[in-house]
């Protein structure tokens, strides 16, 4: 009894500490640990974070938590509004600030909308209807938080076991989109279906939310057996560690001839459950080759770019996110590396002379949203170097 009292005191203290923010949808002083929910309103991530401390701090560092505040997105959305009118704002925010579908606040004034893709949106989501691309989310907003833990029990809120949360369909409402011209602008989910059809057995969560050592809830609130949680950072193309898992590259043949150095490279998508790159057609992966010799000042270079090229109604390529998703009418080409695919690339580098050569092949992830270097993401994530010595010639 005394112990219980002590626990309650700690909890009350915890809430006083954290009750400073003005959160919509939850009351602040909760002596009996019961959260109160305002019907039809989502609860802010900070409230969830008072107990789910570890998950909250990792989520805060995720791109989902910055999907609205991300300045690259903001600039693209303003461009889209100029090009396509106010309806573009509603459209972009549906995925980048999905709480708008509940709060109806398209001016981004409500903190719940500013927080991007928050806890309560994902844990109130109970289904995805891809046949309705304009409104794919099935939400059950209220006291029940849905998740993957079968025997979860909480005094703070009701819990609902949800197998849906362990399935890739949970992610598909935002990571798959066919626009009004019938073009699949975001196709990560359908690429994943191809991967699954050819024997791939991992879900989005298994690759992007691996189990890590942490506490599901603050042990002061409840001691839960086993100390693993799903990583809520969800690293992707902006993470070198994640990129390194995607493609394997090998120089499998090197030959010197009259015309130069012949290089054969093998590429394999062995680690991504979708094409590489995936997501918006503005993402690119570049394979660069370079042949250098000690005597020669400038190395000889060549490159190949993997991307999906989308055209507008005038047949012009669209390069910016602000137009891609609305104005894309046709996919002109797509040479990305599909899931499980192996690709052979051949190069002839016109080097001259009889010296020793150093051949280097590098893979780079490139996202250059506004054609300005300061907004560019450029990550070298794999490289192999081989020497071609002069005496190998004959």
| Contacts to ligand HEC from residues 352-371, by CB under 6 A | 367, 369
Q: Where does this chain touch ligand HEC (CB under 6 A) — which range of 107-115, 242-250, 252-260, 353-361?
A: 242-250
Comparing CB distances to ligand HEC, the nearer of 7 and 348 is: 7
**Distance of closest approach, residue 344 Cβ to ligand HEC, in angstroms:** 20
Q: According to the binding rule CB under 6 A, does residue 113 interact with ligand HEC?
A: no
Tokens 């059950």 locate to 140
Q: According to the binding rule CB under 6 A, does residue 56 interact with ligand HEC?
A: yes
Q: Where does this chain touch ligand HEC (CB under 6 A) — which range of 104-112, 220-228, 260-268, 308-316?
A: 220-228
Show contacts with ligand HEC in window 115-134 (CB under 6 A). 117-120, 122-123
Which string of x and - marks every residue 167-186 that binds ligand HEC (by CB under 6 A)? Answer: -x-xx-xxx-x--------x
Q: How far is CA 390 from the centre of its chain?
A: 46
**Distance of closest approach, residue 311 Cβ to ligand HEC, in angstroms:** 17
Q: According to the binding rule CB under 6 A, does residue 272 interact with ligand HEC?
A: yes
Measured CA to CA, the distance from residue 138 to residue 20 in angstroms comes to 32
Tokens 């008072």 locate to 50
Burial 81-118 (b: 16+ CB within 10 A, else e): beebeeebbebbbbbbbbbbbbbebeeeebbbbebbbb
Cis peptide leading into residue 277 (ω within 30°): yes
Comparing CB distances to ligand HEC, the nearer of 208 and 308 is: 208
Comparing CB distances to ligand HEC, the nearer of 45 and 351 is: 45
Q: State the number of binding residues for ligand HEC (CB under 6 A).
A: 100
Cβ atoms of 377 and 284 within 8 Å: the answer is: no
Measured CA to CA, the distance from residue 319 to residue 323 in angstroms comes to 8
**Distance of closest approach, residue 380 Cβ to ligand HEC, in angstroms:** 14
Q: Where does this chain touch ligand HEC (CB under 6 A) — which range of 114-122, 248-256, 305-313, 386-394?
A: 114-122
Q: Where does this chain touch ligand HEC (CB under 6 A) — which range of 101-109, 166-174, 311-319, 345-353?
A: 166-174
Compute the radius of gyration of the chain from its Cα atoms.
Answer: 25
Region for residue 182 given its phi and psi (left: phi exceeds 0; alpha: psi -120 to 50; beta: otherwise): left
Comparing CB distances to ligand HEC, the nearer of 171 and 361 is: 171
Comparing CB distances to ligand HEC, the nearer of 115 and 361 is: 115
And the tokens for 279?
């997501």
Residue 288's alpha-carbon distances to 94, 350, 356, in angstroms, are: 37, 15, 20
Residue 132 burial (CB count, 10 A):
11
Q: According to the binding rule CB under 6 A, does residue 66 interact with ligand HEC?
A: yes
Q: According to the binding rule CB under 6 A, does residue 23 interact with ligand HEC?
A: no
Residue from the set 23, 41, 45, 349 that interacts with ligand HEC by CB under 6 A: 45
**Distance of closest approach, residue 289 Cβ to ligand HEC, in angstroms:** 21
Residue 267 burial (CB count, 10 A):
23
**Distance of closest approach, residue 197 Cβ to ligand HEC, in angstroms:** 13
Q: According to the binding rule CB under 6 A, does residue 74 interact with ligand HEC?
A: no
Q: According to the binding rule CB under 6 A, does residue 165 interact with ligand HEC?
A: yes
Comparing CB distances to ligand HEC, the nearer of 33 and 361 is: 33
Q: According to the binding rule CB under 6 A, does residue 52 interact with ligand HEC?
A: yes
- Which residues, 6+ apart, have CB-to-CB distance to 99 below 8 Å? 42, 105, 110, 112, 113, 115, 118, 120, 121
Measured CA to CA, the distance from residue 274 to residue 342 in angstroms comes to 13
């Amino acid at each position: 009894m005394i112990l219980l009292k002590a626990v309650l005191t700690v909890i009350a203290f915890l809430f006083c500490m954290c009750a400073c923010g003005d959160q919509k949808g939850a009351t602040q002083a909760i002596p009996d640990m019961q959260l109160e929910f305002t019907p039809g309103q989502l609860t802010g991530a900070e409230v969830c974070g008072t107990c789910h401390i570890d998950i909250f701090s990792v989520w805060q560092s995720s791109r989902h938590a910055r999907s609205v505040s991300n300045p690259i997105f903001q600039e693209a959305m303003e461009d889209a509004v100029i090009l396509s009118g106010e309806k573009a704002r509603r459209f972009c925010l549906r995925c980048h600030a999905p709480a708008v579908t509940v709060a109806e606040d398209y001016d981004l004034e409500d903190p719940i909308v500013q927080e991007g893709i928050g806890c309560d949106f994902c844990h109130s989501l109970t289904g995805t209807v891809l046949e309705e691309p304009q409104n794919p989310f099935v939400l059950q907003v209220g006291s029940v938080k849905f998740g993957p833990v079968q025997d979860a029990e909480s005094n703070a809120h009701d819990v609902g076991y949800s197998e849906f949360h362990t399935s890739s369909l949970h992610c598909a409402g935002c990571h798959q989109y066919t626009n009004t011209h019938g073009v699949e602008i975001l196709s990560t989910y359908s690429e994943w279906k191809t991967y699954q059809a050819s024997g791939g057995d991992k879900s989005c969560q298994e690759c992007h939310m691996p189990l890590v050592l942490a506490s599901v809830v603050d042990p002061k609130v409840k001691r839960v057996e086993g100390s693993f949680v799903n990583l809520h950072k969800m690293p992707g193309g902006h993470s070198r560690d994640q990129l390194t898992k995607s493609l394997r590259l090998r120089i499998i043949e090197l030959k010197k001839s009259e015309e130069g150095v012949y290089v054969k490279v093998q590429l394999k998508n062995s680690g991504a459950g979708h094409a590489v790159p995936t997501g918006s057609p503005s993402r690119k992966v570049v394979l660069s080759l370079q042949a250098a010799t000690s005597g020669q000042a400038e190395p000889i270079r060549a490159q190949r770019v993997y991307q999906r090229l989308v055209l507008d109604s005038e047949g012009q390529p669209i390069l910016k996110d602000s137009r891609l998703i609305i104005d894309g009418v046709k996919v002109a080409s797509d040479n990305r590396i599909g899931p499980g695919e192996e690709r052979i690339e051949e190069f002839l580098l016109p080097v001259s002379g009889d010296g020793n050569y150093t051949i280097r092949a590098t893979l780079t992830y490139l996202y250059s949203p506004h054609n300005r270097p300061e907004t560019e993401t450029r990550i070298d994530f794999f490289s192999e170097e081989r020497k071609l010595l002069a005496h190998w010639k004959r």
